[in-house]
Amino acid sequence: MRLGLPHMGNLYIPLKALFQRLDIDYVIPPVNNQRTLSLGVKHSPEGMCIPFKLTLGNLIEAAELGADTLLMPGGNAICRLGYYAKTQEQILHDLGYNIEMVQVGVSERKLFGLLEMIKRLSNNAPWSKIISAFRFGLAKLNALDRIERVVQKVRAVERIKGTANWLFVKAIKAIDKVDDYNTLKKVQADYIDQLNQVDKAPQAQPLIVGITGEFYVVLEPFSNFDVESELGKLGVEVRRTTFVSEWTKFSWFLNPIGIDEKDRIHKAALPYLKRDIGGDGWE
C-alpha cells in the first residue's frame, strides 16, 4: 500500500510525521498550483466547488506518483464534503487509476474512528505506537499554528516586507525535519523569538481584518490567492478564525476525551444561526 492525500495548507507536515512513525509508505503531491487546478477542473462536474476540484487534482497527482490508497474526509454530515470521496473515487476509476479511497469519517465515530482508520493503514500497529505517533503529529500541528499566529502579526508591521514569510518558510522546513519533542519545542521557541525580533515600524497601527469563510479555502493559500500575505504587504494584520489545531478542539475531534468547546461556540452563534447548516456554519 502507498498512501496519498490532498493538501490543505501545512497539514501535510503533521501527517508526514504520523506516517513516518508508523512506517506507512506515502507520497505527498506537489503543493497546489495551476496544474492541480487544471486537472481538477478538467475532470470534475462543472458545478462542483473549488475545494472539490483542487482536492481531486491533488488526488490525481498522488495517483501519478504511485499512490494506490487515497485519504479523504467523508461521512454522513449535512455538508457536501461528505460526498466528495465517493464521487472522486468514481472519477479516478473512470480515469483508469486502480485506487482505493479511504474515508476519514467526520461525523460518525469521531476520534476513535480516526484512530481505528490509522490502525488499519498502519497494518495493525500496536495502539501504543499509534497513539504516540498521533500525539507527535498533533504537537507539530500546534507548533506550526502558534508560529503562524505570530507571522500574521509581524507581517503587518515589519519594515522589510517579506521577512516574516521568509522566516515562516524556514520554520515549516525545520519543523518538518524534527523527530523529537525537545527539538520541536526549541525550533518553535527559536522561530517565534526570531519573528519577535524582526525590525518593525515603531509607529505602526495596523488595521486588523478578520478572515472567515469556507474551511478549506480559508486554510489553503492557493485557493484564496494567498490573501493573508497580500494583506500583510499592505500593512494589515490578519485574524483568521480557523486553524486546524483549534478545529480539533472546537469540533467533534477531541470531544470524546472531555474537551468540548463546541457547545460554547454554538451558544454564541445561536442568536444569528438557529440550526446546523453543515460545514462550519456554526463555528
For a pLDDT cut of 70, what percent of the chain falls above it? 91
pTM summary value: 0.90
The answer to whether residue 184 sits within a structural domain is: no
Query: Is there a domain that residue 189 lies in?
Result: no
Rounded to whole angstroms, how far apart are CA atoms 207 and 33? 30
Assigned domain for 60 exists:
yes
Asked if residue 97 belongs to a domain, the reply is: yes
pLDDT in tens, 235-247: 999 999 888 888 7
Q: What is the pLDDT of residue 149?
A: 97
- Kindly state whether residue 230 falls inside one of the protein's structural domains: no
CA 52/CA 191 separation, integer angstroms? 34
Task: Categorize the per-residue pLDDT at 276 as very low, low, confident or very high, splitting at 50, 70 and 90.
Answer: confident
Angstrom distances, CA of residue 68 to CA of 1, 38, 104, 108, 205: 6, 22, 16, 25, 51
Give the residue with greater pLDDT, 244 vs 29. 29
Q: What is the pLDDT of residues 201-226, one digit of tens each?
A: 988 999 999 998 888 999 999 999 99
Q: What is the pLDDT of residues 70-123, one digit of tens each?
A: 999 766 655 677 789 999 999 999 999 999 999 876 555 567 778 888 999 999
Amino acid letter, 51 = P
Tracing cell 523569538 back to the chain, one arrives at 193
Residue 281 above 90 pLDDT?
Answer: no
Triad 210, 214, 219: Cα angle to 5°: 70
pLDDT of residue 81: 78
Give the pLDDT score at 98. Answer: 96
Indicate whether 20 belongs to any domain: yes
Domain presence at residue 222: no
Q: Has residue 166 been placed in a domain?
A: no
Name the band, by pLDDT with cuts 50, 70 and 90, for residue 280: confident
CATH number for the domain harbouring residue 38 = 3.40.50
Report the chain's mean pLDDT, rounded to a whole number: 90
**What cell was used for 49?**
466547488
State the pLDDT at residue 241.
83
- Full residue range of the structural domain in which residue 114 is found: 3-129
For the chain, the domain total comes to 1
